[in-house]
Structure 1
Amino acid sequence: MRLLGLVFAILLATLGTASAERRVALVVGIDSYPALGAERQLKNAVNDAKAVGAALQGLGFDVLTAENPTRGAFVDKLFDLAARLKTGDTAFFFYAGHGVSFDGANYFLPSDVPLPRATGRAEEERLAGQAIGEQMIMKQLKDSGASVVMLVFDACRDNPLASAGKRSLGGTRGLAVTAPPRGAIALYSAGAGEAALDRLGDDDTAQNSVFTRVLIDKMTKPGLSVSDMARGIRNEVVALAEKVGHEQTPALYDQMIGKEYYLAGPPDAAKAELGLPPQAPTPDRAEIEWSYIKDNANSKMVADIMTRYPSSELMPAWRERYAALQREEASARQTPPTPPPSPPQSPPAYAPPQQQPAYVPPAPDPRDQFRLRFDTDFPERDVDEFRDVDQQACVSRCAGDGRCQAFTYNVTKRVCFLKSGVARVLSFKNVVSGVKRGSGAEAELERSAYAAPSGGGGEAQPERIRVTYDDVDLENYGDAGADYTIVWNSNFRSCKSSCENDRRCRAFTFNIGKRACILKSSFKKAARFGGAISGVKD
């Protein structure tokens, strides 16, 4: 367990603003404090910042990052964030690292903070000048003109300048907490005198704190207002802590007024109130995959998707497209016939027989070299980047580059990232990734998706469900046996976990109103259904 304090403060500069023109974020993570000694170094602050940054990118934020910055680099990044903001924009600031409180004011420590030389008020003032003040951060972002300003401070309860190995925001213990201003919401990871869990037990190998995990999960859920999100974080953290016999009740200070603000988008009712069209029916996985490949598909790719989704409503269109591609490819393989000779006017002179041109097989399609993953990002290990290119050009560049074993293509931004391997796998909408078949990256992908648990044994971890669909039901007309288990009085996380841990389960649907979890060995159709959440294994 580490003593972790997460303060989540959201300041609304314009209370009536329901959405912003642009979204810009800065995430800062600091593990390394050379002057403070080995026992005061941190392990997961940078990981927490990376995870929050990835979630914000998925929500449409332009994300700036700073890992282990000095004070000068920290200030430069903060001013870069403010400079990018204009009136009506949304700003998000995240900090994970050490922090302290001097005379009721909070300060966050950069990587090059010096070791204290003495005690007393004068020394506190000296160290405050070497740190980044909370008020400075708030002023820069509020003065930028942004309509919505969100700040997340992740720091621990023990002063790192007085005791070793802890994150601290406070004199000796505890946060310098004041009631948030009108129109703001503040959420702390634990109540006064409580310790925030870093893990849920010795077998918990996650690289982020329990609070940060729940924060990321809730902030990416569509239809959750910021107020509801904060209350949901508090309730879920309490429940998780109780399961391991720990008391942790996040403190919530909510003074927001006016219209609700949504990080991951408003529900249909809120969209109608804003004069926006209601959310379109969520496409099923077959429709999503087909949208990525239909413009550049060959017959092999169409045959593959027909095999994997035999019950799809797109099957008639696939059959027609497959037949047309088969004719085109067969025609391309044929040698053009030699035209018959013209009738001779006189006995022709002897000429050797004309040789038929040698058959030249068509060039292999570079897409056949890759295993594709949809709505999936492979972060890190970039070796090159190309902008304003289509997916086919991205695949071809990776196929022809000896350094490239995998790629990630952002469909929305038309950006191609070539990669030397697969370090991690993240869910990311409108992104296509692929690995070369038979390469080391393919093996890395398998280990990333189904890595053996620590401690050996060689057994695979549960199959992960990386993408879920809101307001979607997975139906099985006339095949009741496919819905092989129904669990009542359940919740979404428990339902998802039950499917991941059951090899028979290939998909699930959770009915929010009835709190019913339905595990499925297969499904025939995805249909629009309000109040349901469904997930499908890869």
Structure 2
Amino acid sequence: MTLLLLALVPGSAAAERRMALVIGNDAYDQVPRLEKAVADATAIAETLTAQGFETITATDSSRRQMNRSISEFTGQLQAGDTAVLFFAGHGVEIDGENYLLPTDIIAPASGERDFIKSESIALSALLDRIRATGARTTIAIIDACRNNPFQNTTGRSIGGARGLGRITAPQGTFVIFSAGAGQLALDELTEDEVAENSVFTRLLLPRLAQPDLELRTLVADLRTEVRDLARSVNHQQFPAYYDELLGDFYFARASSSVQETLGPDNATTDHMRADFDLARSIGTPEAIQVFLDRYTDRKDEFTYRMALQLREKDESDTRLAPEQEPDPAAQEPDRKTIIRETQAALNAAKCSAGSADGVPGPRTRQAFQRFITDTGAALKATDLGTAKALQAIRQSGSRTCNAQPAAQPDAAVSRAQPAGFNIAGNWQFRASCPLFIKTTGTASYTRTGPNSFRGTVNDSLGQSATTLVTLTGRKMKFVLNWATVTTYASGTLAADGRSYSNVASNGCTATAWRVS
């Protein structure tokens, strides 16, 4: 696919540099100190660096130090580069202008608005400085929409009671605020929450690392999740954005060699091809139809015609199927017999497959996956209904579903060895996937070791999976065994252990929170 795309793109433009300036201020001298701004900046800087950005990071910076970092940043930018700015700290809107505050800002006396202006960094002036370098694309992410720090409350704003004001973004610039005009951005959902990052940043982080997630899609999903999470504690927070960007933008690129040669129009075409590849890999008529419905305005393109051919072939195969000579080795009665005997064998192995009716329903598939997971059998989910799988179950001997350490109660495991974070319990989640698929659902986990868990996942699309989760500190690794496919995901658990976010190998992003 990469070679095909390169062949279709005439010439090869040099890849632009991707640079980022990340600033986080907690340790204010004369206004309320913050607790999460430096952690937010550190996490953002690490994520951007991992995506290939040359990153300048400044934390707890005075006005002179902020100006020095800004000068270093703009001094390295060149025409055609991509520039990303992230600021977490106190902010203020005065007379229609937004100002970013250094740590040595002095609490002004009444009426000293001009003093604050002169001692702060005007956001519009900073964006103009970046634009003057000739940078082709500027992305500014500002997490500074907090309460007025001069009212002796925790937060990040001065001038008005809370929040930053609207902004006019220069051409080629995309600006994201962590809350809407006049809104308060939450650092935490509850007073006893000890999450490391603010609500906005903790939901932003996994999206920055998701391959082929276009900026506008990223922001649309992010705004909805922030709004819904804030509503769960009866708070209004809906991030604002101001779009003057030319073309598409991706923080994470699945194939740098392709992205470096694609202009805005070709990048859109590549996105269409990526969706086609996804629909074809899913392989169902419904997936192909979703693709065709999405790109109905581009019927003349080669990729669309290929999808039409696939749909026509599926329809042709369906019409011809009853007239085809049946293969004795694949007749349904034989497979149904194997399924029935497999269900009986799974029940004998204490894997709870349900009644031996010959129908490979969700319970049978889950029991088969449980057998594979618990016994370590060299089988795949797609082996269900084969003689090989039936023989393996019958020959399992003492290796049964409840003969593994996984069946030990949590308390026994805890007494055996010290444990780290404990995600055992019931969770709810919200996920966004390619092709505009969104789903909600539940997950339940039980501890199988000091830092390992087994669970079940059920979503609103009627799908279910068994899952294995491994924790290393707060880093999470997931293996999810669905009925016909296995997916992998990585994520981060919040410091309080009550929420996490992850990104899966199929492109889905999810946020989960504990309910019991």
Which TM-score applies when normalising by structure 1? 0.50
Residue of structure 2 aligned with 1:119, choices 110, 114, 120? 110
1 CA distance for matches of 2:83 and 2:462?
Answer: 36
Q: Deviation digits for residues 432-468 of structure 1, max 9, x if unmatched?
A: xxxxxxxxxxxxxx99x923xxxxxxxx3459xxxxx
SS at match of 2:149: coil
Say whether residues 1:140 and 2:129 are aligned partners. Answer: yes
Q: Mean Cα displacement is larger for which, 180-189 or 521-530?
A: 521-530
In terms of fraction of residues, the more helix-rich structure is 2
Unpaired runs of at least 5, structure 1: 1-16, 282-307, 314-445, 452-459, 464-469, 473-487
The residue number in structure 1 matching 2:391 is none
Between the two structures, name the one with larger relative contact order (CA 8 Å, sep ≥ 6).
1
The residue number in structure 2 matching 1:29 is 24
Q: CA deviation at 1:172?
A: 3.9
**Residues 52-71 of structure 1: matches in 2 within 5 Å?**
52-71=44-63
Q: Deviation digits for residues 214-268 of structure 1, max 9, x if unmatched?
A: 1112222222211111110111112212333333333344454x53211112799
Unpaired runs of at least 5, structure 2: 1-11, 259-264, 279-374, 381-416, 426-431, 469-479, 489-503, 511-516
Say whether residues 1:259 and 2:206 are aligned partners. Answer: no
Aligned residues: 323
Q: CA deviation at 1:205?
A: 2.2
Say whether residues 1:450 and 2:420 are aligned partners. Answer: yes
Q: CA deviation at 1:72?
A: 1.3
SS at match of 1:217: helix
The residue number in structure 2 matching 1:223 is 212
Which TM-score applies when normalising by structure 2? 0.52
The residue number in structure 1 matching 2:501 is none
Contact persistence 1:505–1:519 (CA under 8 A): no
SS at match of 1:518: strand
- Letter of the aligned partner of 1:97 in structure 2? G
2 CA distance for matches of 1:210 and 1:142?
Answer: 30
1 CA distance for matches of 2:230 and 2:220?
Answer: 16
Q: CA deviation at 1:134?
A: 1.3
Contact persistence 1:97–1:155 (CA under 8 A): yes
Say whether residues 1:176 and 2:185 are aligned partners. Answer: no
The residue number in structure 1 matching 2:500 is none
The residue number in structure 1 matching 2:387 is none
Change (3 A) 1:70 1:252: closer
2 CA distance for matches of 1:28 and 1:176?
Answer: 20
- Letter of the aligned partner of 1:100 in structure 2? V
- Letter of the aligned partner of 1:32 in structure 2? A
The residue number in structure 1 matching 2:304 is none
2 CA distance for matches of 1:66 and 1:139?
Answer: 20
SS at match of 1:86: coil
2 CA distance for matches of 1:275 and 1:243?
Answer: 34
1 CA distance for matches of 2:505 and 2:180?
Answer: 36
- Letter of the aligned partner of 2:17 in structure 1? R
1 CA distance for matches of 2:84 and 2:233?
Answer: 32
Contact persistence 1:89–1:148 (CA under 8 A): yes
- Letter of the aligned partner of 1:101 in structure 2? E
The residue number in structure 1 matching 2:141 is 152
Q: CA deviation at 1:87?
A: 2.2
Q: CA deviation at 1:505?
A: 6.0
Following superposition, which runs of at least 4 residues in structure 1 exceed 6 angstroms of deviation? 266-270, 275-281, 507-512, 527-530
Q: CA deviation at 1:193?
A: 4.6
Instruction: Select the structure of larger CA radius of gyration.
Output: 1
Contact persistence 2:163–2:182 (CA under 8 A): yes
Q: CA deviation at 1:168?
A: 0.1
The residue number in structure 1 matching 2:77 is 85
**Residues 325-336 of structure 1: matches in 2 within 5 Å?**
none
- Residue identity over aligned pairs, in percent, reads 31
The residue number in structure 2 matching 1:273 is 269
Contact persistence 1:490–1:515 (CA under 8 A): no
